Amino acid sequence: MTNLRNKVAIVTGAASGIGREVALKYAEAGAQVVVSDIDEAGGNDTVVLIKKAGGEAIFVQADVSSAADNERLVNETLITYGALHIACNNAGIGGPQGPVGEYPIDGWDKVIGINLSGVFYGMRYQIPAMLKSGGGAVVNIASILGQAGTPGSSAYVAAKHGVVGLTKSAALEYSAQGIRVNSVGPGYIKTPLLTKNLTDDVIQSLVALHPIGRLGEASEVAELVFWLSSDNASFVTGAYYAVDGGYLAQ
């Protein structure tokens, strides 16, 4: 496995699902991991899993929709580990469903605040810390809906399209300074965010959207995130990579 020893990584939304799997993957490769989430219990569980496997991690509770929380998250990372080399901006929510002409304003504000502004706020404070640490890699978790639309989820679709564009701009601005920035577009992944309130019939309808014939696993997304975060992807920046079972190939 690629060695991440002496690397420090932040993972947001790491209390469960994709974020947890990314944090575990980073730690397995030797990185010191700052696990962050609004969910304190889940975040601490992720830290326990990392330490049981012989890794090093701390938990910092943060709401990514708060610029101040993102600044504090980076500051606590620097206080504890002295540097920052890797960030996976993963925290996100699905938000309410409804057509644009009826979409709840507070729902729009919340989804944009977490899924888009949260990524901007993250990079706003992560990138200066990475520059002082000699460079690094940022991976922003977008979605297949960062490249395609779907009815009823205008805020989510808009936010994820925004993440893809934001990633490209940041990559162009900082590539010459040793910071790579890429985005990942998962298809429908079997995580608590997706399956929590869905019936079996709805889940099967989602399965049918993927030519591969199943939902993805969070660990499969983590493999791609890990590669993009590592020196194995040293010539990759400003890119969008789908991990979607063929969804976008249709």
* Catalytic site positions: 156
Q: Do the beta carbons of residue 50 and residue 23 sit within 8 Å?
A: yes
HSE of 117, CA atoms in CB hemisphere, 13 A: 15
Amino acid making up residue 244: D
Q: 22-44: string of b/e by CB count within 10 Å (b at 16+)?
A: bbbbbbbbbbbbbbbbbbeebbb
HSE of 46, CA atoms in CB hemisphere, 13 A: 34
Cα(238)–Cα(164) distance, integer angstroms: 9
Q: In a 10 Å sphere around its CB, with 0-12 CB exposed, 13-18 middle and 19+ buried, how is residue 114 labelled?
A: buried
Query: Apex CA 32: angle with CA 27 and CA 35, to 5°?
Result: 80
| Two structure tokens written together for 9 | 């990584």
Q: How far apart are the first and last CA of the chain?
A: 33
CA 53 to chain centre: 22
Contact residues for 179 (Cβ-Cβ < 8 A; gap 6+): 127, 130, 131, 135, 136, 137, 138, 170
Helix, strand, coil percentages for the chain (3-state, nearest 5):
50, 15, 30
